Amino acid sequence: MTATATPVRPRLARDTRHVLTRELKPVIRDPFTLIFSLLQPLVFLGLFTPLLIGESGQPAGETLGWFVPGVLVMIVLFGTGSTGSNLQYEMMTGSHERTLVAPLARSSLLIGRALKEIAPIVVQALIIVLIAWPFGFAVDVLGLVVGLALLAVFGVGLGSLSYALALATKDREWLFWGVQQALIFPLLILSGMLLPLDAAPDWMRAVAAVNPVNWVVQAERALFAGDLGDLTVLWGWVAAVAVAVVGLMVGVRAIRRSS
């Protein structure tokens, strides 16, 4: 009798678990990096909120209810969008080449890394919510749970695209950051996470209508307010799942072709 090969799916799940565990260890050993990465969103929260309160004339709680969900999406956008730089560093030091010859499914190398981004997203989002809470920010508990799941799915897709970009640019770090910045800032501005787009030119609102980040931001606002049945929640999930599927497909294809 001939030996049977390990089924593909169980092997992929096993290898992905190994990669995920490996990637989480540095985060657990040095949790300070999670706190340090909150500096930028905290600056936005501290400086933009008073401006929004003065502009709208609404109470701080209502303003935070509009702004905090956008800040959480910003964390995902900047955090997962730059994770490819870690893979780029591994490629420059030769660490990535050693993992490629390991007895692991190549797709698990990307999927495990992408899933690792869920932990920082959840921890950082909860910290921001706790910081905003004493200032009048109120959130629906069930909406918060669903919102965190939405952010996690969205983050997996963005992280996968970031890894794919790192594989494409290889040791050209300047090119990775150039492309990353050229994409992230238009997505941020055209999502309405910092300022409302109601008075924006028609062309900006048209672009925002097809911007997946915009729909995730709107879904987060509805979820945090407790409007779980709002139509924007559905569109937010459609956008997040679409980004996750495309990101994983592009990323897995890139890592299978890497050498």
Per-residue pLDDT of the chain (259 residues; tens, 9 = 90+): 444 444 556 777 888 888 888 877 777 777 676 677 778 888 888 888 888 888 777 888 888 999 999 999 998 998 888 888 888 887 777 776 777 777 777 778 788 888 888 888 888 899 899 999 988 888 999 999 999 999 999 999 998 999 899 888 887 888 889 998 899 999 998 998 888 888 889 999 999 999 999 999 999 999 999 999 999 999 999 999 999 999 999 988 888 777 5
Give the residue from 84, 52, 57, 54 showing the smallest Cα distance to 71.
52
C-alpha separations of 227 from 59, 63, 165, 249, 259 in Å: 20, 17, 36, 32, 48
What would the DSSP string read from start to end of 202-255? HHHHHHHHT-HHHHHHHHHHHHHTT-TT-HHHHHHHHHHHHHHHHHHHHHHHHH
The whole-angstrom separation of Cα 187 and Cα 211 is 7
Q: What is the pLDDT of residue 8?
A: 55
Phi, psi of 38 (to 5 degrees): -85, -5
Q: What is the pLDDT of residue 243?
A: 95
Q: Are 156 and 247 in contact (CB under 8 A)?
A: yes
Q: What is the pLDDT of residue 1?
A: 41
pLDDT tens digits for 150-207?
999 999 999 899 989 988 888 788 888 999 889 999 999 899 888 888 888 999 999 9
Q: What is the pLDDT of residue 7?
A: 56
Token pair listed for 18: 């190994």
Q: What is the pLDDT of residue 21?
A: 83
pTM of the model: 0.86
Which string of b and e fits 110-133 if b means at least 16 CB within 10 Å?
bbbbbbbbbbbbeebbebbbebbe
